[in-house]
Structure 1
Amino acid sequence: MAQYYTQKLRRFGPTPLGVDWSCMPTQALRFRKLLKLCDFDSPFSLNDVGCGYGALLDYLALYHPLTSIDYLGIDVSSAMVRSARKRRSGDLIQFHHGRESPRQADYSIASGIFNVMLDQPLRVWEHSIEATLVHLGATSRKGFAVNFVHQSVPREMARPGLYCANPMQWIGFCERRLGAQVHFIDDYAMSEFTLIVEY
């Protein structure tokens, strides 16, 4: 997985294509849906799992410049982390190379990290998703938000190695395993959905 995204970054640079998204407007739309989790009226800490080159920071600076956010970006690709560090720095901005967050925060988000399973067997990939959701729950005091490609995506649009999810499977998992309240969002005219998971 780290190699896959490192190659994307080398080919396309710190752009949406460099993290396997099609364009900036759809990337921004995903961020807007994920960030429905957060209360921007007061300071908070945020873990960004699968941060890539740090694009979320650009969005936050543009749309929420007055909110103090203690940000930690986490990514499996060391090249992504290096790129993010070059692009953004500050007293409240940190990056970590790895699969999981080393700290607890008020909120966590993970955009697109479950979509590309490559040649992993389905059960192995879904076990990895379960472990990641449990970790997000353990490291998020107030809640977390994730997104998935919807299983209803037309077959001709689904590329090899793309994981298409059943929303009820993951809503049920978060409710049963994590004891959380889950808000389902799919009203943004894309073949995907967002889960807001709160405690």
Structure 2
Amino acid sequence: MSNSIDSPILQQVAAHYNSKLLTHGSTSQGVDWNDLRSHELRHRQFLRLVEGAPDASLIDLGCGFGDFLRFLRQNGHRGRFVGYDITPSMIDKARELYGEGDDRHWRVGAVPSETADFAIASGIFNVKGDVPGADWGDYVLRTIDVLAQSGRQGFGFNVLSMSSDPDRRRPDLYYVEPAEMLSYCLSRYGRSVALLQDYGLYEFTIIVRRHALASA
């Protein structure tokens, strides 16, 4: 399966998030997070990727209604921001909230048409719905490659963790063993990889520095 926005997997994902936005509006629940606190905790993990580079450009793959741009600007980041999302209503809402200009652009799509200094994806691997786990896992790995190709200096993403309590897991969500994902990224993208799982949520964040990328 491809990462085309016309693929059955991404059509299902787009329908899910369009429904959340219609129900909850431009809130954390509108992008299927529990609350603003957890939403910003996730944002904060990606600051490590851009720290010391306030003018670096960034691609946010699966940007939703653009809240990460707000968070970045509040934390002193000035660089060019390009948000991609497969849900047109999310992009429409991002434009409505934050406008468009030289330092911010919004695009409908699953594969960026340009590169930036850094690329991130937050939450886009979580809700698999009724897609078989193996098919969703292939989509996740393909999309991580897209991030690697989009971020010249580095990239980051988060995934729900198998370290969470078994009785809290849901069949429509996708979970990964942190050690397995760390090992995969080390073998595919080089040794400059960080695993963050110390921020109190049932997930982990991977940060990869592009300068250490290995041959695919």
Q: Same fold (TM over 0.5)?
A: yes
CA distance in 1, matches of 2:201, 2:52: 25
Find 2:163's aligned residue among 138, 142, 152.
152
Quick check: which one's strand share is greater?
A: 1
- 2:198 counterpart SS class: coil
Structure 2 unmatched runs, 5+: 1-12, 211-216
Counterpart amino acid of residue 196 in structure 1: I
CA distance in 1, matches of 2:53, 2:15: 39
CA distance in 2, matches of 1:175, 1:7: 37
TM-superposed CA distance for 1:152, in Å, is: 1.9
> Does residue 78 in structure 1 map to residue 84 in structure 2?
no
1:30-179 equivalences in 2 (<5 Å): 30-64=42-76, 67-89=77-99, 90-179=101-190
- 1:100 counterpart SS class: coil
Q: Percent identity?
A: 35
Task: Count residues in correspondence.
Answer: 197
CA distance in 1, matches of 2:190, 2:53: 26
- 1:141 counterpart SS class: strand
C-alpha contact (below 8 Å) 1:143/1:196 kept by paired residues? yes
CA distance in 1, matches of 2:54, 2:32: 32
Runs of 4+ with >4 A deviation: none
CA distance in 2, matches of 1:63, 1:72: 17
State the TM-score, normalizing by the size of structure 2. 0.87
Structure 1 unmatched runs, 5+: none
C-alpha contact (below 8 Å) 2:62/2:84 kept by paired residues? yes
TM-superposed CA distance for 1:51, in Å, is: 0.3
CA distance in 2, matches of 1:41, 1:122: 37
- 1:28 counterpart SS class: helix
State the TM-score, normalizing by the size of structure 1. 0.94
